[in-house]
Amino acid sequence: MISVCVLDPDRQPLDPCHPARARQLLDAGRAAVFRRFPFTIILHDRTRAASMVHAHRLKIDPGSKTSGLAIVQGPRVIWAAELTHRGQRIKAALETRRAIRRGRRQRQMRYRQPRFLNRTRPVGWLPPSLQSRVCNLMTWVERLARLCPITALSQELVRFDMQLMQHAEISGVQYQQGELAGYEVREYLLEKWHRTCAYCGATEVPLEVEHIVPKVRGGSNRVSNLALACVPCNQKKGARSAAEFGFPQVQAQARRPLHDAAAVNATRWGLSQALHATGLPVETGTGGRTKYNRTRLGIEKSHWADAACVGASTPDPLRVAGIRPLGIRAMGHGTRQMCRVDAHGFPKTHRARQKHYGGMQTGDIVQAVVPTGKYAGTWISRVVVKARGWFDLVIHGKKASVHQRHCTRLWAADGYTYALPAVAGTAVSSPR
Ligand SMILES: [Zn+2]
């Protein structure tokens, strides 16, 4: 369950309400459906001035494949979503385009002077695959800010806090008690040692924080004396130093500090600047803090739960029971490539001139009422339109061909597709 957004007659956001309350309002004719994703109703009879509106905080955990979004009001998470990006697909498409162009130029059908270093990139430029992640998140921040009274933002900016580690004296007792500094150090070490055992290179195994020069031999608790080791290596090493254990390079690597740049990547930095430009107060947190909060609050790991646990503002306790996040997947707005080529780069087909067929376009969510045949029944699905009039739908997880005359558009394509029923009882067959 996630709350339903509520607007007043002037489209000003009010406090979101429980889906059952929204149903009552809709049944009583006091409201109408405004949007399906996220599900939003518009009230006919109550203005924002006459309502009590609370402060809501939108929290973001940016990820490379999937980002988490959560709206927190008081001690509760009231809305959550998981946004799947399309960075890899953008990268693949650009690489294909580059290969086609290169092939065409190699063919020497015409001569053009090669261009070299004749382009300047604006300040803050990001590669398209990374920029799309920032743009996806900003689309949703702006969209949610119009539908819900959001007064503050939180973002996980860095994985760990270098300042905290350099200036706080870190003691062994603190890790064992699960103090915040311990989480920061662990995130730092995971990054520095690439999530592998420093000695045998094992991955995907439980890793322990380990002293390179053991404490019994006078080794310190500073991060420069810490490495990650799998349990067998840690036990085998015992009271020896890394050099005595046969790994002098581990000792040498440990002395080299990680640069701050390693902790904050370009995407998160770009997002942070875009969030500040909204004018809302932005709180930033570290990955160490997120994990510390989530563990302390006893919340299971997921993208949206991480988002809800970002930053120092996280309330204790935080109520998350019953939250089912809205699944959002970035799909793009189709292609602008005019000429499709085959595997050898030979022109195959021209792009269709028309994007709409029967008033629908690829990416719309449609309701299909099929009277007879293999797919008889009522279906809701994302659609791929075809000139012949037979559209591709997803029925029972498989591609199905349904004629356009059976389809009615419910939702116009907006570059995203959604995986959760917007209203209970409506099964959106999972679009791919
Ligand atoms: Zn090992």
Distance 195 CA to ligand 1 centre (A): 11
Residue 392 to residue 386: CA distance in whole angstroms? 8
Instruction: Report the domain count for the chain.
Output: 4
Domain boundary among 278, 297, 330: 330
Residue ranges in the chain modelled with pLDDT below 70: 108-110, 161-180, 258-264, 420-432
Ligand 1 geometric centre to CA of 211 (Å): 14
Query: Which residues neighbour ligand 1 (ion) by CB within 5 Å?
Result: 197, 199-200, 202, 230, 233
Q: Is residue 286 part of a domain?
A: yes
Instruction: Give the torsion through C-alpha atoms of 90, 94, 96, 98, to 10 deg.
Output: -170
Please indicate, yes or no, whether residues 244 and 357 belong to a single structural domain of this protein.
no
Report how far residue 82's alpha carbon sits from residue 44's, in angstroms, rounded to the nearest whole number: 31
C-alpha–C-alpha distance, residues 249 and 198, integer Å: 10
CA 235 to centroid of ligand 1, rounded, Å: 10
Tell me, in angstroms, the distance from the centre of ligand 1 to residue 370's CA: 59
Cα 206 to middle of ligand 1, angstroms: 10
For residue 417 the two structure tokens come to 């597709």
**Cα separation values, 219 from 207, 238, 242, 250, 254, Å:** 20, 13, 11, 15, 13
Domain presence at residue 117? no
How far, in Å, from the CA of 203 to the mean position of ligand 1?
9
Query: Tell me, what's the pLDDT at 162?
Result: 66
Contacts of 126 (CB under 8 A, 6+ apart): 134, 266, 267, 270
Q: For residue 208, report the distance from its CA to the centre of ligand 1, in Å.
A: 10
Residue 277 domain flag: yes
Map residue 118 onto helix, strand or coil: coil
**412/352 same-domain check:** yes
Residue 106 domain flag: no
**d(Cα 180, Cα 295) in Å, to the nearest integer?**
11
CA of 184 to the centre of ligand 1 (A): 22
Range of the domain at 152: 56-86+126-159+264-330
The CA 65 to ligand 1 mean position distance, Å, reads: 29
Provide the pairing of β-strand 407-411 with 365-370.
antiparallel
**Domain check: are 320 and 346 in the same one?**
no
- Domain presence at residue 312: yes
Q: Tell me, yes or no, whether 376 and 346 share the same domain.
A: yes
Expressed in angstroms and rounded, the spacing between residue 197 Cα and the centre of ligand 1 is: 5
User: From CA 7, how far away is CA 30, in angstroms rounded?
Assistant: 12
CA of 430 to the centre of ligand 1 (A): 42
pLDDT of residue 165: 62
Q: Measured between alpha carbons, how far is 247 from 415 in angstroms, rounded to an integer?
A: 51
Mark which of 208, 226, 261 sits at the end of a domain.
Answer: 261
Whether residue 287 sits in one domain with residue 146: yes
Question: 199 alpha carbon to ligand 1 midpoint, in Å?
Answer: 5
Residue 247 CA to ligand 1 center (angstroms) comes to: 12
CATH number at 359 reads 2.30.30
How many angstroms does the Cα of residue 212 sit away from the middle of ligand 1? 13
Q: 410 burial class (0-12, 13-18, 19+ CB within 10 angstroms)?
A: middle
Residue 229 sits in the same domain as residue 167 = yes
**What per-residue confidence (pLDDT) applies to 176?**
40
Please tell me whether residues 290 and 317 are part of one structural domain: yes
Return the pLDDT at 166: 57
Task: Please provide the DSSP assignment of 51-80 as one string.
Answer: S----EEEEEE--SSEEEEEEEETTEEEEE
Looking at the structure, tell me whether residues 38 and 25 fall in a common domain: yes
In the prediction, which pLDDT does 133 show?
Answer: 94
Ligand 1 mean position to 288 CA, how many Å? Answer: 24
Whether residues 411 and 350 share a domain: the answer is yes
Distance CA 113, CA 104 (A): 14
Do both 73 and 220 map to the same domain?
no
Whether residues 237 and 318 fall in one domain: no
In a domain? residue 31: yes
CATH assignment of the domain containing 133: 3.30.420.10
The answer as to whether 380 is a domain residue is yes
Query: Does 376 map to a domain?
Result: yes
| CA 328 to centroid of chain Cα atoms | 9
How many angstroms does the Cα of residue 232 sit away from the middle of ligand 1?
6
- 346 and 374 in a common domain: yes
Q: Among 310, 330, 350, which residue terminates a domain? A: 330
Report how far ligand 1's centroid is from the alpha carbon of 210 (Å): 11
The CATH code of the domain that includes 176 is 1.10.30
Give the distance (Å) from ligand 1 centre to CA of residue 251.
15
